[in-house]
Chain A
Amino acid sequence: MGKVWKFGDNLNTDEIIPGRYNITIDPQELAAHVFCEIKPEFTQGTQSGDVVVGGQNFGCGSSREHAPIAIKGAGIRCVIAASYARIFFRNAINIGLPILECPQAAAEIREGDEVQVNLSSGVITDITTGRSYQAQPLPDFVLKIAEAGGIVAFLQEHDIDELMTAAGGAV
């Protein structure tokens, strides 16, 4: 169970982590500045397991991998949004930040609600309001990358083909 931090549409990577803090790729250092301009209370108030909820086109703007690293570094368990910008979507998965797409949940869940998320089934439950939502479940391979802590960490221990089987296909 985690508390919700809510954001609007078209949240860009500069709002997630301003360019001037991108000199490091250390998750903890980045997490110290995540959302610092648009939600300064975020870094102090988050607890491990909290959830970020955004709107349309979450993570647009530059291709910086620092943005999902910073969110994950802050202990956020997953992001729920109506839709994602292309490179953020990839980067999040590759660095092991689970992301769910669910326009209805993104619209209805409010800041401060307590939510429960089942990443493999895609079921999101808002404990505060009692409503449930069904997001597109995450493919197995995304869960595997997330469990390992990102694609680089995954490859240190496994072969890429273990993901391939999960992706359901021949080459």
Chain B
Amino acid sequence: MGTLVEEIFSRKLGRPVRAGEIVMVDVDYIMSHDNTTPLAIKAFRQIGKPIHDKERIVLFFDHAYPAPNIAAAENHRMILDFVREQGLPHFHREGVCHQVMIEEGYVRPGAIIIGGDSHSNTYGALGAFGAGLGSTEIGVAWVTGKCWFRIPESIRVELRGETQPGVSAKDVMLHIAGLLGMDGATYKSVEFAGEYIRGLSVDERIIFPNMSTEVGAKCGLIEADEVTTAYLENEAGLQGPFACLKPLDAQYERVIEVDVSQLGPAVACHPRVENVKPIEEVEGLEIHEVYIGTCTNARYGDIETAANILRGKRVHAYTRVIVTPASERIYQRALRAGLIETLMDAGCVVTQPGCGACIGRHGGILAAGERALTTMNRNFIGRMGSPEAEIYLASPATAAVSALTGRITDPRKA
């Protein structure tokens, strides 16, 4: 009995646990990537003990891959040497870590997964507990297979209604980020629920737990249901039975209700994710780069949305438009469907899968004075390059429509 996060931990520990308790649990997977693995290796070497279970370690090259400079190349070389030295079986380079974790079937409902990345919350889209941790703890978990947690209190976000044309799951999540604010859920679990969530595909659901990080949450969760299990069987190659846990007589710290039919397209303005405005207020603002990518919004449906808007047209002459599919699987599917050709014909640069321009290392770095409109989850100062550049966050449809005009444009007017 309890909230979804209490249910997940109670099942794992075989006894009822409540918010506020500190527990030690076996973790199902320990994820880290080319940015966070080096310090984990350092902690691991300091501890000086063997790896507990190699099967549970998943490593990625995605943040700066293929290497854009010598330092990144040497970093990859060092990690790869470690992978070989330890004989680690799960090493990936097929796209953004969180997307590939889900596609490759590492994420099961009820699982407890830790990641050396703040958006490890993403796994909550499939009813798993995912939380981001510092690198030292990743190294500790390699040795112990375990991690301690304080069970968080929960906020429930009930979403009802249907979105209007031109309004997507990203717009809804941006609205919630504006409502809660950047520390509105600090240390909490945020449960996204209601008929609206149940009606979404897994690909769309991912946006909510993914961006729960932006409101300070420890984890973001969605109950696993038939949509989840169908996805796991058909897309992630997993077999049931699945632990589709549900909250039961739960105590919430706060319940927020939103009727999504009332919402229009939204934009999070530089440099705070909570700085969310209806698109009408920022329409016409000149943009120099459109970036469609990241673990938030670069799945097949997002690329399809963009391609449908750009088909047979040309992007604005002075706006560079970059599309970075979240994974190779998505890239190939888009390729087979002719979407990549459509995007390239329209003047987009389509890059290799990965984090791409998201952290300002490669693939679309911004110059001082430039403004980007992107499908990312964060718009911190300097995130995509120059600290004097501006980052605005929006849905794939808003990004694609704006690519045509070179200005922030309302997708409902396209």
Chain A positions near chain B (C-beta within 8 angstroms) = 10, 57, 60, 63, 65, 83-87, 89-91, 93-95, 139, 141-142, 151-152, 155-156, 160, 163-164, 167, 169-171
Contact = CB atoms under 8 A, between A and B. Distances in A.
A160 B139 CA distance: 13
B143 A155 contact: yes
Interface of B: 12-15, 22-26, 43, 46-49, 118, 132-137, 139-140, 143-144, 146, 148, 150, 183, 186-187, 216, 218
A141 B12 CA distance: 20
A89 B136 contact: no
Contact of B144 (A63, A94, A155, A156): A155
A141 B24 contact: yes
A95 B139 CA distance: 13
Contacts of A93: 148
Contacts of B140: 94, 151-152, 155, 160
Given A65-B136, A141-B24, A169-B24, A156 B47 contact: yes
A151 B13 contact: no
Contacts of A156: 46-48
Contacts of B187: 83-86, 89
Contacts of B26: 171
A152 B148 contact: no
Nearest to B218: A86
A90 B13 contact: no
Tell me whether chain A's interface is mostly helix, strand or loop, or mixed.
helix
A65 B134 contact: yes
Contact of B49 (A142, A155, A163): A155
Contacts of B24: 141, 160, 163-164, 167, 169, 171
Given A152-B43, A155-B49, A160-B144, A90 B134 contact: yes
Contacts of A167: 22-24, 148
Nearest to B44: A152
B144 to A, nearest CB: 4
A60 B185 CA distance: 12
Given A85-B183, A160-B146, 5 more contacts: A63-B118, A84-B187, A85-B186, A171-B26, A171-B146
User: Lowest 5 CB-CB distances: which A-B pairs, in order?
Assistant: A160-B144, A167-B24, A86-B187, A155-B47, A164-B24
8 contacts: A57-B186, A65-B136, A86-B186, A87-B134, A94-B134, A151-B136, A155-B144, A163-B24
A39 B148 CA distance: 33
Contact of A152 (B12, B13, B46): B46
Contacts of B150: 89
A152 B135 CA distance: 12
Contact of B216 (A86, A169, A170): A86
Given A65-B134, A155-B143, A163 B216 contact: no
